[in-house]
Amino acid sequence: MITGWGAHHNDIAQWGMGTEYTGPVEIQGRAEYPKDGLWDVHGAFRIEYVYANGVKLVCADDKKNKPGVLFQGTEGWVSVDRGKIDAQPKSLVTSTIGPDEVHLYQSNNHKGNFFECIKSRTETVAPVEIAHRSCTICLLGDIAMRLGRKLKWDPERERFTNDDQANRMLSRPMRSPWSA
């Protein structure tokens, strides 16, 4: 589940933290796995990612947590979930962003933006490198949950630090004629 749906929320979280072109340096996760049946995918889970700047991202199932992304700061919080936004204090939602503050791009049509960028040769609002990083943190979380221990990650090299077992989980053998 984390590797399928998780990228959507983790993408927003990384975007909001300004870490969309990097990744965490430490990952720790736990999950409940079924003992029998068709599924071998985690059920209830919690993953904690720590970034080089000290910010912690917590990704967890929605059994105890509201779906979406919650940003907590010194002056309140902002919650974002697939088309809705809430905040405390409410003034955070209606405040005007100043000309010298960070302005994020807006896209009401990702597919349309993609076609526009093919014609104009400009970067899309959802660049492939950012998608790669969003998917990567989901895969890192899955590996941490399966191993059940804290992992150190080098986002530049895209390898676990001093952990051969975790690094072996970053890829699978390919069927012929494919190779790495």
* Strand, helix or coil for residue 3: helix
Averaged pLDDT for residues 117-135: 92
- Return the bridge partners of 151, or none: 27
Q: Tell me: domain 2-92+105-164, CATH 3.30.360.10, correct?
A: yes
Q: Is the whole-model pTM more than 0.75? A: yes
pLDDT at 165 over 90: yes
Interatomic CA distance for residues 76 and 90, integer angstroms = 9
Read off the pLDDT band of 107 (50, 70, 90).
confident
The string of pLDDT tens digits covering residues 1-42 is: 787 778 888 988 998 899 999 999 999 999 999 999 888 888
What is the maximum alpha-carbon separation in the chain?
Answer: 58
Q: What pLDDT, on a 0 to 100 scale, did the predictor assign at position 90?
A: 94
Interatomic CA distance for residues 61 and 67, integer angstroms = 8
